[in-house]
Structure 1
Amino acid sequence: MLLGLSAITLVAGLAAPRDAAAGTIKGTVVLKGTTPELKKLAVTIDQYVCGKEKNPEDLVLSPQGGIRSAVVWLDKPPAAAGGEALPSTTSMDQKECMFAPRVVVVPAGGKADFLNSDRLLHNLHATPTANPPFNRTQPKGRTISISFSHPEIIRVTCDLHSWMRGWVVVAEHPFYALTNGAGEFELRGLPAGRYTLKVWQERLGTISKDVVVGDQDPTAVTVEMPAR
């Protein structure tokens, strides 16, 4: 009798319906077209810390053309899609006169901790449209925390070092992802259905791509961003 119950339990487990919110979009963002010439940036101040030149980081590619630090998100996800909450706090450092990482994602209502690991003075300057602007002097070792209430993409600069650029992407919902060094990303917890992906990259702009999440999991997608 116990064996029969075990068999029934096993069959019931196998027959259980698939979680309606278990779908995953797993993709890669790649460059389409000729790779633009990326000239080094001249450093004219504080060379004892910053060096004499910097590699441009506004477009970083893998050997296969994958785009690093592109932001991918769902346009208008359905209410039924739960999604794993994004961390409420992120951090961005300043190392050798570059923002590191260059792009961060924080949910609306979250905050970014800005650090300064350099042995010189920096400042944080941004002029958002949906969130309050800021312009803060930052000596070495000081952490400056800034909260963001409204979704938007914000450029952060240092007035003392003109080549420095960083980006804070304030997310409207949990379905945001930042591509890794190979251009790969993953969005989890999606019901089956048709979605529109938005992809932003600081040099290449924003594009859209439709994708269908079906019974096969994960759903593979390649997003091509035209070279500029």
Structure 2
Amino acid sequence: MKRYFITITLLIALLALCLPGPAMAGGISGTVKVKGLRSPANILVYLTKAPPAFVDLSKTKFVMDQQNLTFIPHILPIPVGATIQFPNNDKVDHNVFSLSRTRPFNLGSYEPGEVKTVLFDKPGIVEVRCDVHAEMAAYIMVMKNPYFAVTDAKGRFEIPDANYLKEYGFSGLTDIPPGKYFVKTRHEKLKTIKQAVVVPNAGTISIQLELSRGTPGVLYK
């Protein structure tokens, strides 16, 4: 009986060693400081390469609004395969279009209250314009992975961005798997920078980025 008990105990111990432990993951937070711009807001911060991550887009809702002759938001990052709604909530007609290689489109002229949609199925930058109002411009960033964020009015960001995920209805995304990555930035008036970062097994690593005016680089090579 004693030998039998010891055998069972050893089997349980071995089984415990073979079972996978709890998933380990972390995050990245930080602040972006800029030279030559009034505000550090609307800067895209993202991981250039990351392990595949399942993201459920079935309940997501991405909107680029038109109000007071302005596209809102100014920059909208989305995962590949997402669809964006372009409602006209202005008092005048608009004609939303893009000549970008990533996703050229022309929605034609449409009246206040109308909504049109576009599917974005390839990664890259899409500059959005209005054919009626030349001053209107915005940027859609079609991302290869969901590990990105847009800075707030104080230049702060957090990856993954919990507020963004909640606002647009994401599900299925966890924290960043531990390991070494490269963080990259993108803003139409700032030089792009790329910085190495090591994500811990648990918790969040904090970084600081400094940008200056200049020609930005490409989103992905």
SS of aligned partner of 1:24: strand
Task: For 1:124-203, list aligned pairs within 5 A.
Answer: 124-188=96-160, 189-203=175-189
For residues 131 and 102 of structure 2, the distance between their equivalents in structure 1, rounded to whole angstroms, comes to: 22
CA drift of 1:29 comes to 1.6
For residues 89 and 205 of structure 1, the distance between their equivalents in structure 2, rounded to whole angstroms, comes to: 31
Q: Within the alignment, does 1:28 sit opposite 2:31 as a pair?
A: yes
What is residue 110 of structure 1 aligned with on the other side?
Answer: 82
SS of aligned partner of 2:121: coil
Task: For 1:22-61, list aligned pairs within 5 A.
Answer: 22-31=25-34, 33=35, 35-36=36-37, 61=39
For residues 55 and 83 of structure 2, the distance between their equivalents in structure 1, rounded to whole angstroms, comes to: 18
* TM-score normalised according to structure 2 size: 0.74
CA drift of 1:84 comes to 5.8
SS of aligned partner of 2:207: strand
CA drift of 1:138 comes to 2.1
CA drift of 1:217 comes to 2.0
What is residue 7 of structure 2 aligned with on the other side?
Answer: none
Report how many residues are paired.
181
Q: Within the alignment, does 1:75 sit opposite 2:48 as a pair?
A: yes
5+ unaligned residues in a row in structure 1: which ranges?
1-15, 37-59, 62-66
SS of aligned partner of 1:154: strand
CA drift of 1:136 comes to 2.1
For residues 186 and 201 of structure 1, the distance between their equivalents in structure 2, rounded to whole angstroms, comes to: 17
* Coordinate RMSD, CA, aligned: 2.3
Q: Within the alignment, does 1:19 sit opposite 2:23 as a pair?
A: yes
CA drift of 1:110 comes to 0.7
What is residue 100 of structure 1 aligned with on the other side?
Answer: 72
What is residue 54 of structure 1 aligned with on the other side?
Answer: none
Contact residue 85 and residue 174 of structure 1 kept, 8 A: no
Partner AA of 1:107 in structure 2: P
Q: Within the alignment, does 1:221 sit opposite 2:207 as a pair?
A: yes
Contact residue 24 and residue 217 of structure 1 kept, 8 A: yes
For residues 134 and 206 of structure 1, the distance between their equivalents in structure 2, rounded to whole angstroms, comes to: 29
SS of aligned partner of 1:136: strand
Contact residue 123 and residue 143 of structure 2 kept, 8 A: yes
Identity of aligned residues (%): 29
Partner AA of 2:23 in structure 1: D
For residues 199 and 54 of structure 2, the distance between their equivalents in structure 1, rounded to whole angstroms, comes to: 15
* TM-score normalised according to structure 1 size: 0.71
